[in-house]
Structure 1
Amino acid sequence: MKLGVFTVLFSDKKFEDMLDYVAAKGIEAVEIGTGGYPGDAHCKVDDLLDNEEKQKEFTNKIAEKGLIVSALSCHGNPLHPQKPIAKEADELFDKTVKLASQLGIPVVNTFSGCPGDHEEAKYPNWPVSPWPNDYQEVLKWQWEEKVIPYWKEKAELAEKYNVKIGLELHGGFSVHTPANLLYLRKHCGPAIGANLDPSHMWWQGIDPVESIKILGREDAIHHFHAKDTIIDQPNMNRNGLTDMTPYSDMRDRAWYFRTVGFGHDSKVWADMVSALRLYGYDYVVSIEHEDGLMSIDEGFTKAVENLKPVMVKESVSEMWWV
């Protein structure tokens, strides 16, 4: 396994400076944004696509630092009911898949998106209750008319280019639980998998280790994020899981993100890493830092320090004690 980082953290740094910085921290892999929510500070798709010379320059700079690229990420909402927003995300995804293929990068990360509740809707509608029955009708329409048809087409595109799709299970989007992901994968094929982020499991009341087992049995984990979450139980009792309190009002939120080790201790993270290996994941654990109490440098550094001791670097070739 390799320790990585989602480089959107360092969008203020020049590409070469970012590579120098993360390599010096002991990072082995970088996940790079190509646009959408992560931005494209370190990877301009239109400049690199179909340009062998610029691609070679890009990959050489990464390789010179002893790094690999674990994934290209273009998180957006390609199912947004406002067509210009959806079109921008859709076109970026297609370009990112093609670029990943040309660069030999095996995974493209994104969100599943979330549609509206009818063809003329203006905003996404995220149903989270099975009753009143209106919500069931909305959910059925979304999946049958929008989610499955869209991702079936994109899975075919990914297979054509030999790239895997890592959907981040994230609240506010149609795919946000292991069950959602496996349902979509059943209809669209194995190119669809998870970019599994335990921080989003915790706030939904899902045990990340169990989510790894559920998805791992289906070989459905394509990428893994390392970010922590803390539950503030008094606020949870008041606001519930689907807390709409702004992220900036941390004192009043039911939950908020922390850097690795500041929401759950090292044993919990060791259990997750062990579960990943148990179910065949031997790829990158990519740090994502969204801790409102620490600077980027401090939060990132502590995440590296807390993850290094629990990473499994050498798998057993044979059980010599048997």
Structure 2
Amino acid sequence: MKIGLVTDGLGHLSFDDLLASCKELGVEEIELGCGNWSAAPHVDIDAWLSNSNLIENIKEKLEENKIRISAFNCSGNPLYPGAKGEADREIVKKTFQLASIFDVKTVVMMSGLPGGGPNDEYPNWTTTSWPPETQEIINYQWNVAIPYWQETVKLAQKHGVEKIALEPHGCQLVYNVENFRKLKGLTDDTIGFNLDPSHLFWMGADPIEVIRELRNDIYHVHIKDVRIENKPAGLNTLLDTKHVLEFPNRSWNFAIPGYGHSKDFWKNFIVQLKMVGYDGVLSIEHEDYTMDPYKGIRKTTDLLKDIMI
């Protein structure tokens, strides 16, 4: 396994300073955000696609620093109703083109979430089986999602993308193993799992059981933790709509590994990945708002170096 980084965590740095920091930290692979929910701090996708000299310059800098691109990330909601969904889908297409230019085989995405019906303006995340109309919503959403994903898989393959690593996440159609398997079964093996334990924690799943269940379907891994805040969680449940910067009052918060679940959990996490044959990147996604990003990433790389097999 290699230590990687979702570069949004150091989004305040220039590309050159980013590469220098990665060398200092011991980061060997980077995951670059291309747009949609990422501010794409290190990728101007239109400029990169239109300027071959710029591309060669970037490749040279990566080679000089011995850093590889593990994946491009265009997570957003390609199933969003209306113009916003069209804009997100356009970034997906451009990301596949960029992956082809850099010979990057993995693109990290989310499944997206449609509205609850043909006239809805906003996505609708349905998480219960009652009242009865919830089933109509879910059926409609899958009927929207299936043709999009079947065509998207074909487009990815056309550009040489071998793995679309879907990240199960709240307010997405695919947020658990069951829904992931359903979508994969309706497409093909291009679709895999981006394992981010933080979201699994707050939605009540067990990342260790997910690893053992999915095995070869794990295409990419994010390293990020969650800390459950006992009193607010006990009063308000883990379904928390407060902004992530309101961390003193939230039921759960993103954390760096060891500040949510113990070092022993993370040792077991690495062992379980090794047991199922995963030998890819461990891509640090820093979203712990209680500490300086560079220091948080440093603590995370130090922990990974200590526990990696």
In the TM superposition, residue 50 of structure 1 has moved relative to its aligned partner by 6.0
Aligned to 2:226: 229
Aligned to 1:134: 133
On the 8 A contact 1:76/1:113 being kept in 2, the answer is yes
Cα separation, 2, equivalents of 1:179 and 1:38: 27
Aligned to 2:293: 296
In the TM superposition, residue 54 of structure 1 has moved relative to its aligned partner by 2.4
1:60 paired with 2:35, answer: no
On the 8 A contact 1:260/1:307 being kept in 2, the answer is no
On the 8 A contact 1:110/1:166 being kept in 2, the answer is yes
Cα separation, 2, equivalents of 1:229 and 1:68: 28
User: Helix, strand or coil: the match of 1:234?
Assistant: helix
- Correspondence list, 1:71-110, <5 A: 71-81=71-81, 83-110=82-109
Aligned to 2:120: 121
For residues 255-305 of structure 1, give each alpha carbon's deviation from its aligned partner in whole angstroms, at most 9, with x where no partner exists: 111011111122211111111121121110000111121111221111111
For residues 170-229 of structure 1, give each alpha carbon's deviation from its aligned partner in whole angstroms, at most 9, with x where no partner exists: 11111111111111001011111111100001111111111111221xx21111100000
Cα separation, 2, equivalents of 1:168 and 1:8: 16
On the 8 A contact 1:178/1:211 being kept in 2, the answer is yes
1:4 paired with 2:14, answer: no
Aligned to 1:267: 264
Unaligned 5+ runs, structure 2: none
Cα separation, 2, equivalents of 1:89 and 1:13: 25
For residues 33-89 of structure 1, give each alpha carbon's deviation from its aligned partner in whole angstroms, at most 9, with x where no partner exists: 1111112221222222264432221111112111111101111111111x2111111
Q: Which amino acid aligns with 1:204?
A: M
Aligned to 2:148: 150
Aligned to 2:283: 286
On the 8 A contact 2:198/2:254 being kept in 1, the answer is yes
Choose 47-56 or 284-293, whichever is displaced more: 47-56
Choose 246-255 or 204-213, whichever is displaced more: 246-255
Unaligned 5+ runs, structure 1: 313-322
The 1:50–1:222 alpha-carbon spacing in structure 2 relative to 1, beyond 3 Å, is: farther
Amino-acid identity (%)? 37
Aligned to 2:35: 35
- Correspondence list, 1:181-220, <5 A: 181-216=180-215, 219-220=216-217
Q: Which amino acid aligns with 2:141?
A: Q
User: Helix, strand or coil: the match of 2:9?
Assistant: helix
On the 8 A contact 1:30/1:286 being kept in 2, the answer is yes
Task: State the TM-score, normalizing by the size of structure 1.
Answer: 0.92
For residues 79-119 of structure 1, give each alpha carbon's deviation from its aligned partner in whole angstroms, at most 9, with x where no partner exists: 111x2111111011011012102211111112111110111
Cα separation, 2, equivalents of 1:43 and 1:249: 29
Q: Which amino acid aligns with 1:210?
A: E
On the 8 A contact 2:31/2:71 being kept in 1, the answer is yes
On the 8 A contact 2:74/2:91 being kept in 1, the answer is yes
Q: Which amino acid aligns with 1:159?
A: Q
User: Helix, strand or coil: the match of 2:192?
Assistant: strand
In the TM superposition, residue 234 of structure 1 has moved relative to its aligned partner by 2.4
Task: State the TM-score, normalizing by the size of structure 2.
Answer: 0.96
On the 8 A contact 1:8/1:32 being kept in 2, the answer is yes
In the TM superposition, residue 249 of structure 1 has moved relative to its aligned partner by 2.3
User: Helix, strand or coil: the match of 2:277?
Assistant: coil
Aligned to 1:316: none
Q: Which amino acid aligns with 2:160?
A: N
On the 8 A contact 1:182/1:215 being kept in 2, the answer is no
Aligned to 2:25: 25
User: Helix, strand or coil: the match of 2:42?
Assistant: coil
Cα separation, 1, equivalents of 2:258 and 2:275: 22
On the 8 A contact 2:10/2:294 being kept in 1, the answer is no
RMSD: 1.3
Q: Which amino acid aligns with 1:157?
A: L
